[in-house]
Amino acid sequence: MDKAFLIQFTGSMAAVAVLVGLAAWARLGRPAPGLDEARARDLLAEDFPDWRIDQLWIAREGRGAIARSGACALVLIQVGDGYAARRLSWCQASSAMFRNGQLDIRLGEVAAPRAVLAFDNWPPKDLAA
């Protein structure tokens, strides 16, 4: 491999490391106090504007949420200081693996492989019939 390329590539990787370090030091992320119900509904409404939310469960420390909307589950996943939302069948969400307080939903997308949310129990005890 070309020596000049290797030097340039190594230097670029070093620059990336320095800039990421600076970004961490600067602490310029969005304030993320954790979701409450109102915020979760607002975020879900951005991605699913016309969807009725029957029930909503906020993950521990507000780091995500799951809403039931008819036969569908609407999932909010915390990604850094932002969120991604996905829709799946309620069946898939309610039967997802739950172990040690962690609900692990396989979303099966390259862009969103899984949603891991912390709950005290799952499926939720207050689940409406």
Partner 1 sequence: MEEIDPVGLAVPFFILAIVLELLLGRLGWAKARYEPKDTFTSLAMGLGSSVAGLATAGVIFAASLWVYQHRLFDIPMTAVWAWVLIFLLEDKTYYWFHRLSHERRFWWASHVNHHTSQHYNLSTALRQTWTGGVAGTWLLWLPLSLIGFPPAMVAIQKGISLVYQFWIHTEAIGRMPRWFEAVFNTPSHHRVHHARNPRYLDRNYAGILIIWDRMFGTFQSELESEPCRYGVVKNLATFNPLRVAFHEWAAIGRDLMRAKSLREAGLYVFGAPGWSPDGSRETSHQIRARWAAGQVPDPLSPAEAEATVPRPGAHSESPA
Chain residues binding partner 1 by CB under 8 A are 9, 12-13, 15-16, 19-20, 22-30, 46-47, 49-50, 77, 79-86, 107, 109-115
Beta carbon of residue 128, minimum distance to partner 1 (angstroms, whole number): 26
- At 108, list the tokens: 């099966």
User: 34: closest CA among 76, 75, 96, 68?
Assistant: 76
Rounded CA separation 96/86 (Å): 15
CA 32 from chain centre, in angstroms, equals 13
Rounded CA separation 48/87 (Å): 9
- At 53, list the tokens: 């939310």
C-beta closer to partner 1: residue 17 or 127: 17
C-beta closer to partner 1: residue 27 or 125: 27
C-beta closer to partner 1: residue 25 or 126: 25
Residue found under tokens 């029957």: 54
C-beta closer to partner 1: residue 3 or 125: 3
Beta carbon of residue 91, minimum distance to partner 1 (angstroms, whole number): 17
Beta carbon of residue 17, minimum distance to partner 1 (angstroms, whole number): 9
- Maximum Cα–Cα distance across the chain: 67
Beta carbon of residue 68, minimum distance to partner 1 (angstroms, whole number): 19
